[in-house]
A and B are shown apart, each in its own frame.
Chain A
Amino acid sequence: MKMVDVKPMNKDYQSSLISLLYQLADDDFILAYRGSEWLGLAPHIEEDVAFSSISQDTMGHAAMFYQLLSDLGEGDVDDLAHARPAKVRKNAILLEMVNGPGHYLSKPSYDWAFAVVRNYFYVQAKKVRMESLKNSSYDPLANAALKVNMELYYHLLHWKTWFVQLMQAGGEARKRMEDAIHRVWDDFAGVLSLGPLGKELATFKIIESENILKGKWKQSMKPVFDSVNLLMPEEFGTQSGDGRKGVHIKDLEDALLTLREVYQTDPAASW
């Protein structure tokens, strides 16, 4: 299902656009996968329904971004999602990290605090991007952003509710949330990064600059942090490396092996 007939465009414009689309698609793809691993393991049944619904939406967003890439001549969407090796993937490393020790099939000891913090901070960053992309110079992406943004409203509300409640709960909940927050800070610069072509993306007005977007993220989070007595750090880290450059940890390799298992039995099958 082709979304757009692409008109010829400036070569540098096109390569910047493509680099951004890979980040958007790969981010949503791997985080939706990590979300799906929680199915049946969430704290209660209503959360199972909600989290799996959010993950399904998120996978839908990834599919749409892969479609935009396909329309630009990057190949088949199923191949883009399943066949690409880890080293060409552009998702932030924070989003590929395992949910916790163990495996969903045997002795999962997943960290709910990490899930809440990672998802909340990521969804707010995605929201800031979508708001900016609504004014993108690339119309098909602006249209997609408007669509994604409407669904994000509910995702953001969901994670914010968990975040505030667990932060205000005190005791062990607060302690575990703070541990998770520190882990997320260590690699959150990787999420906010627009990759090696960030400058070009802003020049071509495909999306606003990384600095503007980071400022908007902080601005939207500040009142929430104030309400739960949490300080906003000056800087965020990329301790595990820069996923936008294709650097990844073993967690991504392992995830790819699992998620492409069925696809690889017959890559030519029609889905």
Chain B
Amino acid sequence: MPQEKEKSVMKALQKVKDPEIDSISIIELGMVKKVEVNGDSVLIELLPTFMGCPALDIIHKNVVDSIAELTSMKEIDVQFIYHPPWTSDRVSDEGRLRLKEFGIAPPPKRITETGEWHVDCPYCDSTYTTIENIFGPTACRSILYCKSCKNPFEAMKPVSTIM
């Protein structure tokens, strides 16, 4: 049953987490574009988040390793593709919760025409926050500060094709 096989591949992909945010899987991040099972071979297409992200090679390896554990797959082809580009609205609702759990505000759903955006504090949900630095410890994160609970926090930086 090919559908069964696809399910087991998706299950294996769910186990692959972002090496820098280990609460969220690459599926929840919206990185998995295509899974094609053909007999005992599988093709997986992934969308890279940020081009310079050093975690990409690690993710590639972890995907191959995770699928290899399913002994049913003999040929594993994992590719990064650049079209369509990954955008931050690809993060799933589940993924948004997982990010928040880790203390990272999920990417804002709305960006104004001038590119301005706002996120609430992932700890106390206050809207009284300021951006300290658009750039953060990794390519996909910004550094913010909550004026209500006085916690510094990070947010996943929004990227969109309208920018």
A residues apposed to B, CB below 8 Å? 1-3, 46, 49-50, 53-54, 56-61, 63-64, 140, 143-144, 146-151, 153-154, 157-158
* Complex contact A143–B51 (CB within 8 A): no
Inter-chain CA distance A57–B52, complex, in Å, is 5
Q: Contacts of B159 on A, CB cut-off 8 Å? A: 150-151, 153
B residues apposed to A, CB below 8 Å? 50-54, 60, 79-83, 85, 87, 115, 132-139, 143, 157, 159-161, 163
CB closest chain-A residue, reference B87: A150
Q: From known contacts A57-B139, A60-B50, infer whether A143 and B134 are also in contact, taking CB-CB under 8 Å.
A: no
Q: Contacts of A157 on B, CB cut-off 8 Å? A: 115, 134
Inter-chain CA distance A86–B86, complex, in Å, is 35
| Shortest 8 CB-CB contacts between residues of A and residues of B | A60-B52, A60-B51, A50-B135, A153-B163, A53-B135, A143-B83, A56-B52, A147-B85
Inter-chain CA distance A2–B78, complex, in Å, is 11
* Complex contact B85–A56 (CB within 8 A): no
Q: Contacts of A61 on B, CB cut-off 8 Å? A: 51-52
Q: Count how many pairs of residues, one from A and one from B, have CB atoms less than 8 Å apart in the complex.
A: 75
Q: Contacts of B87 on A, CB cut-off 8 Å? A: 150
The smallest C-beta distance from A36 to any residue of chain B, in angstroms, reads 11
Inter-chain CA distance A158–B53, complex, in Å, is 19
* Complex contact B134–A50 (CB within 8 A): yes
Q: Contacts of A158 on B, CB cut-off 8 Å? A: 134-135
| Other-chain contact of B82, A3, A49, A53 (Cβ < 8 Å) | A3
Mostly helix, strand, loop or mixed at chain A's interface? helix
CB closest chain-B residue, reference A46: B133
Inter-chain CA distance A3–B134, complex, in Å, is 30
Mostly helix, strand, loop or mixed at chain B's interface? loop
Q: From known contacts A61-B51, A146-B161, infer whether A153 and B115 are also in contact, taking CB-CB under 8 Å.
A: yes
Inter-chain CA distance A66–B160, complex, in Å, is 24
Q: Contacts of B136 on A, CB cut-off 8 Å? A: 49, 53
Inter-chain CA distance A158–B135, complex, in Å, is 9
Inter-chain CA distance A64–B85, complex, in Å, is 13
Apart from A144-B82, A148-B51, what 20 extra A-B contacts exist at CB < 8 Å?
A1-B80, A3-B80, A46-B133, A46-B143, A53-B135, A53-B138, A54-B135, A56-B139, A57-B52, A60-B139, A61-B51, A63-B51, A64-B51, A64-B82, A147-B85, A150-B85, A150-B159, A153-B115, A154-B135, A154-B157
7 A/B residue pairs, CB under 8 Å, sorted by A: A3-B81, A49-B136, A50-B134, A143-B82, A143-B85, A150-B159, A153-B163
Q: Contacts of A150 on B, CB cut-off 8 Å? A: 85, 87, 159-161, 163
Q: From known contacts A49-B143, A60-B52, A148-B51, infer whether A1 and B85 are also in contact, taking CB-CB under 8 Å.
A: no
The smallest C-beta distance from A166 to any residue of chain B, in angstroms, reads 18
